[in-house]
């Protein structure tokens, strides 16, 4: 009888050392194309015979093998045909990695590269977030983007979550858009038929408005509507306090200062410095030399709406630097003067 391989199921093409790969072929009649049962299939790894597995129901023979060395390898299925005493072969090439091939891929979210095993990436509600993957091992393959969403956020993706997307040149992009008014943590999951492992990317979904996620205190007190008073050379602590339930922690926040009147830029300083990204959310702000007004603004990285403290006034700790004293219209000098009473 003349036999041939009718169909095949390839193993993952980019396993990691220690993974078990599974390949299968379907054997049938060369003439009738009918599946053949109990036909022995010889399986080879790198051209060396490893196992003989007869076909079962529907003519399938399956082979499982643990890959132990990195590099390019071949799995081959061979079926002998008594008709012409010749084999019918099918070759499965694989490329075994010492570590996950995802580590060699480049992932960008909103234009910023995401490091392998990054602790968290920030996405923002109410706007599209671009997710782009570049991976040479995915050329001419397919990839899907999955979602682990324990808090049930409203999130859409285009292409859709779990859809298999062709990657002809090794690069593809999704647009992920969270909706609603809830912030929480999610996980994006990149999967390929070529790897046993997925790449799970922890993400934090936040509002575009920092005030939805945190409050600002100055020396532990909320800033009153009339504004805040600073005294020269006396530092006050500006603190961003994360609201209960907000996953804001870890997002870089910048404190900025804008002079409104009476001051030079150097008259107001901060430790850490103004305009530097911080994740500790505490700044010691100190005024010196002049008197005047200034604005403080706290901006979350990637957010569109900062928290702004509009009215901040810097004064001397000596009242005479800020005001003159008079009696019956006559100015009283600092240190006092002669006053006559009738």
User: Using CA of residue 313, residue 255, residue 269, residue 219, what is the dihedral sign?
Assistant: positive
**Contact between residue 247 and residue 206 where contact means Cβ atoms under 8 Å apart:** yes
Tens of pLDDT, residues 294-311: 999 999 999 999 999 988
pLDDT band at 15 (very low <50, low <70, confident <90, very high): confident
The one-character DSSP state at 159 is: S
Q: Which residue has the higher pLDDT, 83 or 167?
A: 167
Give the model's pLDDT for residue 332: 54
Neighbour tally for 41: CB within 10 Å: 26
- What pLDDT does 336 receive? 56
Average pLDDT over residues 182-204: 91
Give the confidence band of 119 by pLDDT, cuts at 50, 70, 90.
confident
pLDDT bin (cut points 50, 70, 90) of residue 83 is: confident
pLDDT of 341 above 80 = no
pLDDT at 197 over 90: no
Tokens found for residue 292: 């005047």
Whole-number pLDDT of residue 319 = 52
Collapsed DSSP state (helix, strand, coil) of residue 234: coil
Strand, coil or helix: what is 32?
A: coil
pLDDT for 26 equals: 93
Assess whether pLDDT exceeds 70 at residue 324. no
118 pLDDT band, cuts 50/70/90, is: confident
Q: How far apart are CA 302 and CA 309, in angstroms?
A: 20
H/E stretch holding 95: strand 86-96
85-97 per-position pLDDT tens digit: 889 999 999 988 8
d(CA 73, CA 26): 22
Reported as a single tens digit per residue, the pLDDT across 241-295 is 999 889 998 899 999 999 999 999 999 999 999 999 999 999 999 998 889 999 9
Q: What is the mean pLDDT of the chain?
A: 90
Please give the sequence-ordered ranges of beta strands (E in DSSP) within 110-252, or none if there are none: 112-114, 121-124, 129-134, 141-148, 155-158, 165-167, 171-178, 184-192, 199-206, 214-218, 221-222, 228-231, 236-242
pLDDT band at 63 (very low <50, low <70, confident <90, very high): very high
pLDDT at 282: 95
Instruction: Report the pLDDT value the prediction gives residue 108, as an integer from 0 to 100.
Output: 97
Query: Given pLDDT bands bounded at 50, 70 and 90, which one contains residue 225?
Result: confident
Given a cut of 80, is residue 236 above it in pLDDT? Answer: yes
User: Is the pLDDT at 217 greater than 80, yes or no?
Assistant: yes
Q: Distance of CA 290 to CAs 174, 228, 260, Å?
A: 52, 16, 13
The answer on pLDDT for 321 being more than 60 is no
pLDDT digits (tens, 9 = 90+) for 125-182: 999 999 999 999 899 999 999 999 999 999 999 999 999 999 999 999 999 999 999 9
């Amino acid at each position: 009888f003349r036999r041939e391989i009718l169909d095949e199921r390839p193993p993952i093409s980019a396993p990691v050392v220690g993974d078990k790969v599974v390949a299968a072929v379907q054997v049938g009649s060369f003439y009738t194309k009918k599946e053949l049962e109990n036909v022995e299939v010889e399986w080879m790894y790198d051209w060396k015979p490893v196992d003989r597995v007869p076909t079962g129901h529907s003519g399938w023979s399956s082979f499982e093998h643990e890959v132990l060395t990195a590099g390019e390898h071949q799995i081959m299925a061979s079926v002998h045909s008594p008709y012409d005493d010749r084999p019918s072969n099918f070759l499965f090439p694989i490329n075994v990695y010492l570590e996950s091939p995802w580590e060699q891929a480049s992932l960008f979210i909103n234009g910023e590269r995401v490091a392998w095993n990054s602790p968290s990436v920030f996405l923002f509600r109410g706007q599209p977030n671009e997710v782009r993957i570049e991976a040479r091992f995915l050329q001419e393959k397919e990839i899907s983007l999955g979602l682990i969403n324990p808090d049930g956020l409203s999130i859409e993706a285009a292409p859709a979550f779990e859809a298999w997307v062709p990657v002809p040149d090794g690069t593809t992009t999704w647009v992920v858009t969270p909706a609603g008014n809830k912030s929480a943590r999610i996980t994006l999951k990149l999967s390929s038929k070529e790897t046993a492992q997925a790449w799970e990317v922890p993400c934090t979904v936040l509002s575009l408005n920092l005030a939805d996620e945190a409050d600002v205190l100055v020396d532990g007190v909320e800033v009153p509507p009339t504004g805040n008073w600073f005294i020269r050379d006396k530092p006050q602590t500006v603190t961003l306090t994360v609201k209960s339930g907000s996953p804001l922690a870890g997002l870089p926040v910048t404190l900025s200062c804008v002079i409104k009147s009476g001051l030079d830029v150097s008259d107001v300083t901060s430790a850490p410095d103004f305009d530097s990204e911080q994740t500790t959310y505490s700044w010691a702000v100190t005024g010196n030399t002049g008197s005047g007004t200034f604005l403080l603004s706290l901006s979350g990285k990637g957010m569109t709406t900062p928290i702004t403290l509009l009215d901040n006034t810097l004064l001397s700790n000596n009242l005479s630097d800020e005001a003159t004293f008079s009696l019956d219209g006559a100015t009283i000098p600092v240190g006092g003067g002669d006053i006559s009473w009738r």
